[in-house]
Chains A and B, each alone.
Chain A
Amino acid sequence: MAARPRDDLTGKVALVTGAASGIGAATALALAVRGAHVACADIKPAAATLEWLRASGGSGCEITFDLADRGSVARAVEKAAGEARGGACLDILVCAAGIGFKGPLLAADADWDRVVGANLTGTFATLRAAWPHLKAAGQGRAVIVTSMGAYRGGLHFGPEYNASKAGLIGLARHFALHGGPDGIGVNAVAPGFIATPFVAGLPYDADAIPLGRLGEPEDVAEPIAFLCSPAASYVTGAVLHINGGVFFG
């Protein structure tokens, strides 16, 4: 399939974290079919994603890393940037890795620290490590996956999850403000109820969603691919809500 010229990512190198499943996996594929070489990073094996994108004519590599370990994050970013010609360039960064679980309203310290440490601190570490490489790319693009829960709270995950996701919005905006002069665009997407392994088994009611269905990973991956493309070059600091009309922002 030929990409639209404005969507074409041929020759670009991308790093997608959380690429083993769900939104991250679909994003890796969406970038790969547009021509990007995609480093698929996850704490779990991302071999299935690699197989999927290669079967679709794309190229990529697999990186194992732990979002909660800053050294591991930095090594993953360097490995991804090493995939570029010249060896230190990253055109696209998609931070989709994250953790969350059902916890009490009055979260235990350990749960709070673990979730905020991975989702917020780990994403900051990812962006920090990638920043020089995004600068080197000239027109670097970063997309951070936050959540509708950052705006609305949530029923299925603890407060640490939604607080971490809200923190990512401030993070995205700070880097958008400071990345502009270097040609770097930074945006966020805020998915609503998306049918992924991450939320498997949780009771979501499709009838409560105006568009009448749960989202699919592709419903988020395609907008992310747009935000990573030259078509979105004048969009920065935005949060794109992808929720079937549940919440307008």
Chain B
Amino acid sequence: MRASAPVASAASLAGHVAVVSGGARGIGAAIALALAGDGAAVAVLDALDAGETVVAAAALGARSRGWMVDVGDEAACLDAAAAAEAALGPISILVCAAGVMPRGAVDSGLAQWRAVLRVNLDGARHLVAACYPGMEARGDGRILLVSSVAARQGGLLAGAEYSASKGALLAFGRHVARNGAARNVRCNILSPGVIETAMNADLPKPDPAVLPARRLGAPGDVAGPALFLCSDQASYITGVDLPVNGGQLFYP
């Protein structure tokens, strides 16, 4: 038995630079602040003004900058990643939490299909395209894609395009995981259940009594698991989909 200290509790993300999309509010903001609290410098990308998150991250002692970015725009993602690297340093952590969830149906029309895929799926693709080469070259990358329980269960209020975009993130993430492993680029997926955020404030929610946890989730419930997957604590974990859903759906 080794007498050396384990990876253990004080392992931190000091020295790491993280890009978090969708970081202005909700789940993305909670993850950005968890990373900042653990010592990472954080670049916050969002279609909305991310000032609040940047200020909160700075209050935690982290270097942080915000960029207003439409993640569906490839050039904008490449520019933002380059600006983040110039301002904060080489990116070793990427969290793709940007997403939209309009109400819909099995067929919500082609325009809505494309609009949702453009942000939820293309957005993740553009940011991985921007960040992956540097991670691969440096031999250290931690990518986290925020999917949804809807990827496996379907949805009832959001349209099929939402479930399809989140399901595609599972396959995309596994492809990145499989190819990145040899260069120590890990890629995992995190699938929240029903988390109360501004994005779904207008949508009806399930009765918490149907969930084993007997409560809906809060953004903070997702932040801890996200931080874990981006940390050295998860250094032997890649390609997994971690459910954070209060027991709503058991898998894998």
- Closest A residue to B39 using CB positions: A4
Q: How large is the interface on B (under 10, 10 to 19, 20 to 34, 35 or more residues)?
A: 35 or more
**Interchain CA distance A29-B4 in the complex, whole Å:** 11
CB < 8 Å neighbour of B252 from A185, A218, A221, A239: A239
Q: How large is the interface on A (under 10, 10 to 19, 20 to 34, 35 or more residues)?
A: 35 or more
Is residue B242 within 8 Å, beta carbon to beta carbon, of the partner chain? yes
Whether B213 pairs with A238 at a CB distance below 8 angstroms is no
CB < 8 Å neighbour of B6 from A26, A176, A212, A231: A26
**Interchain CA distance A6-B245 in the complex, whole Å:** 18
Chain B residues within 8 Å of A178, by CB: 212
Whether B212 pairs with A237 at a CB distance below 8 angstroms is yes
Chain B residues within 8 Å of A3, by CB: 9-10
Given A181-B214, A235-B242, A235-B243, are A1 and B8 also a contact pair (CB < 8 Å)? yes
Q: Within residues 133 to 166 of chain A, which ones have a CB less than 8 A from any CB in chain B?
A: none
CB < 8 Å neighbour of B9 from A7, A25, A179, A238: A7
Binary contact readout A231-249 vs B (1 if CB under 8 angstroms, 0 otherwise) = 1111111111111110011
Is residue A21 within 8 Å, beta carbon to beta carbon, of the partner chain? yes
Chain B residues within 8 Å of A112, by CB: none
Is residue B38 within 8 Å, beta carbon to beta carbon, of the partner chain? yes
Whether B178 pairs with A210 at a CB distance below 8 angstroms is yes
Binary contact readout B15-50 vs A (1 if CB under 8 angstroms, 0 otherwise) = 000000000000000000010011000000000000
Whether B225 pairs with A232 at a CB distance below 8 angstroms is yes
Whether B246 pairs with A180 at a CB distance below 8 angstroms is yes
Q: How far is the CB of B181 from chain A (nearest CB, A)?
A: 3
**Interchain CA distance A153-B58 in the complex, whole Å:** 49
Q: Within residues 219 to 234 of chain A, which ones have a CB less than 8 A from any CB in chain B?
A: 219-223, 225-226, 229-234
- Closest A residue to B184 using CB positions: A211
Whether B245 pairs with A234 at a CB distance below 8 angstroms is yes
**Interchain CA distance A48-B1 in the complex, whole Å:** 8
CB < 8 Å neighbour of A212 from B182, B227, B246: B182
Whether A244 pairs with B236 at a CB distance below 8 angstroms is yes
Binary contact readout A47-59 vs B (1 if CB under 8 angstroms, 0 otherwise) = 0110010011000
Binary contact readout A172-205 vs B (1 if CB under 8 angstroms, 0 otherwise) = 0100111111000100000000000000000000
- Closest B residue to A241 using CB positions: B240
Whether B178 pairs with A245 at a CB distance below 8 angstroms is yes
**Interchain CA distance A233-B181 in the complex, whole Å:** 29
Q: How far is the CB of A141 from chain B (nearest CB, A)?
A: 13
Is residue A38 within 8 Å, beta carbon to beta carbon, of the partner chain? no
Whether B212 pairs with A180 at a CB distance below 8 angstroms is yes
Binary contact readout A21-33 vs B (1 if CB under 8 angstroms, 0 otherwise) = 1000110011001
Given A222-B8, A245-B177, are A235 and B211 also a contact pair (CB < 8 Å)? no
Measured CB to CB, the residues of B under 8 A from A are 1, 3, 5-10, 12, 34, 37-38, 174, 177-178, 181-182, 184, 186, 193, 211-214, 217, 221-225, 227-228, 232-247, 250-252
Measured CB to CB, the residues of A under 8 A from B are 1-4, 6-7, 21, 25-26, 29-30, 33-34, 48-49, 52, 55-56, 173, 176-181, 185, 210-212, 215-216, 218-223, 225-226, 229-245, 248-249
* A–B pairs, 7, beta carbons within 8 Å: A21-B1, A56-B5, A210-B239, A211-B184, A221-B6, A226-B234, A240-B240
Instruction: Sort A-B residue pairs by CB-CB distance and give the 4 closest, nearest first.
Output: A231-B224, A180-B212, A210-B181, A249-B252
Other A-B pairs, 20, CB within 8 Å; known A216-B236, A222-B6: A3-B10, A181-B214, A210-B178, A210-B239, A211-B184, A212-B184, A219-B235, A223-B228, A226-B225, A226-B228, A226-B233, A232-B225, A234-B222, A234-B244, A234-B246, A236-B213, A237-B243, A241-B237, A241-B239, A249-B241
